[in-house]
Amino acid sequence: MAGIKITDTTLRDAHQSLIATRMKTEDMLPIADKIDKVGFYSLEVWGGATFDACLRFLNEDPWERLRKLRKTVKNTKLQMLLRGQNLLGYRHYPDDVVEEFIKKSIENGIDIIRIFDALNDPRNIKKSLEATKKYGGHAQAAISYTTSPVHNNEYYINLAIEMEKMGADSICIKDMSGILLPYEAEKLVKGLKEQISVPIQIHSHFTSGIANQTYMKAIEAGADIIDTAISPLGMGTSQPATESMIASLQNSPYYPNEIDMDLLLEITDYFKDLRDKYLEEGLLDVKVLNVDVRTLKYQVPGGMLSNLVSQLKEQGALDKLDEVLEEVPKVREDLGYPPLVTPMSQMVGTQAVLNVLLGERYKMVPKEAKDYVRGLYGKPTVPIKEEIKKKIIGDEEVYTGRPADLLEPELDKLKNEIKEYIEQEEDVLTYALFPQVAMDFFKYRQAKKYKIDNNLLDDEFKTYPI
């Protein structure tokens, strides 16, 4: 056999997990050519929170980042993460927006689109999957892995069978919390291999400290691809470290012979320096590099844990953290055991905080959680109990159809709303996903262009005090 294939996540999930998605394009491009030559199966470089962060925090055009990376990376497939009907935002978008977004993603350089839904509702990934295949991309359907009395191997295998029937080119087990145990991974991968014919990829986070062992058992059971990150931006709440994972496979039939280890070590040195810079700038908090075994009990992903800490700090109630962590699984059970991934992790976490701080469960319920109970995000794994439903939405009727069927086409209306700011077709999609953030960016871009045109460039820094 050719050995395990590896997807490198350094330019997307690694920095999203460790430095709140703050890596700039200018930090990526000098090393992208070397990463391209290592021999990775694919590079995850786009999607997830990178789109929002580019605009909101870095004053960068995410589409331009993708084009620049595609121009530099000539040999390796580029991959992105997509939240199904949510795309890269936090609500469901109409089918016309979904199709156009995927079309433009592929046109700008994406080869593989990993598509998941927070509720594992196949109806919410169907349109994205079809559009990816329509425009020539590789459609990878992802299972949002979690555990509960109803989330077991039989459930996941049946879900994967349905995904393959829908046209998935590969299946990813997406373990966002780092809770997939090694021997469970072995059983799950073996079960999948017996039932489906497409490749299986494993994605996990090192949060609980077990992902290396999980990868090993999954590889031995027949997994085809694993996700890793270069060691300076690996481990902690990120993925297992690439170099260590490869070294552990030496003298085995799974060793990835196509990987250039010497080149990999040069890349490691580059990211070591970059990590030092992030530490100095305060972007990297060493706490995210720690192993947190509470993840195994509460199933709280690293990003969700930091959000809970932040919410409690704002309220001067950090001493309530353990109480909130105890409340999270109770809220999750009440809401039909949703996997704790965006946007469900935010909903469950915020509700747990409110329940604890107000001293009464569901005294206050945010709109997003109400909409979820109304059926506007999709179908829960198990029906929500009547008494919880009544507490949250009273006697309102629950919608049981595909949520996106309620949405009218939007593209033409959006195009008209921002016609004076459009510089490229992709701008309409940027605006569709993040209207206010996009407008701020478009105004910044116009002001910057004005300064260039009028020779108001700051010669020393090549920047603009806008």
**pLDDT digit string, tens, across residues 329-370:** 999 999 999 999 888 988 999 999 999 999 999 999 999 999
Helix (H, G, I), strand (E, B) or coil at 79: strand
Task: Give the integer Cα–Cα distance in Å for 254 and 220.
Answer: 8
Task: Give the integer Cα–Cα distance in Å for 208 and 180.
Answer: 10
Question: Residue 83 phi/psi, 5° resolution?
Answer: -90, 45
pLDDT score recorded for residue 300 = 78
Is the confidence at residue 436, as pLDDT, over 50?
yes
pLDDT score recorded for residue 456 = 66
Please report, rounded to a whole number, the percentage of residues in the chain having pLDDT higher than 90: 84
Give CA 420 to chain center in angstroms: 32
pLDDT score recorded for residue 395 = 94
Across the range 80-97, mean pLDDT stands at 95
Residue 290 pLDDT level (bands cut at 50, 70, 90): confident
Over the stretch 176-193, which tens digit does the pLDDT of each residue have? 999 999 999 999 999 999
Query: Is the model more confident about 453 or about 8?
Result: 8
Task: Give the integer Cα–Cα distance in Å for 146 and 164.
Answer: 20
Task: Give the integer Cα–Cα distance in Å for 257 and 175.
Answer: 26
Task: Give the integer Cα–Cα distance in Å for 206 and 209.
Answer: 5
Is the confidence at residue 166, as pLDDT, over 60?
yes
H/E stretch holding 280: helix 261-281
**Which CA distances in Å does 298 have to 93, 127, 250?**
31, 33, 35
Residue 79 structure tokens:
């991959």
**Contact present, 142 and 174 (Cβ < 8 Å):** yes
Burial bucket for residue 410 (CB in 10 Å: 0-12, 13-18, 19+): middle
Question: Residue 324 phi/psi, 5° resolution?
Answer: -65, -45
Over the stretch 192-231, which tens digit does the pLDDT of each residue have? 999 999 999 999 999 999 999 999 999 999 999 999 999 9
Mean pLDDT of the chain: 93
**Contact present, 176 and 144 (Cβ < 8 Å):** yes
**Which CA distances in Å does 119 have to 25, 169, 319, 343, 368?**
32, 21, 31, 10, 14
How many other C-beta atoms are found inside a 10 Å radius of the C-beta of residue 276?
A: 12
Helix (H, G, I), strand (E, B) or coil at 144: strand
Residue 466 pLDDT level (bands cut at 50, 70, 90): very low
Task: Give the integer Cα–Cα distance in Å for 335 and 347.
Answer: 10
- Amino acid identity for residue 158 in this structure: N
Angle at 429 between CA 204 and CA 457, to 5 degrees: 100
Residue 302 pLDDT level (bands cut at 50, 70, 90): low
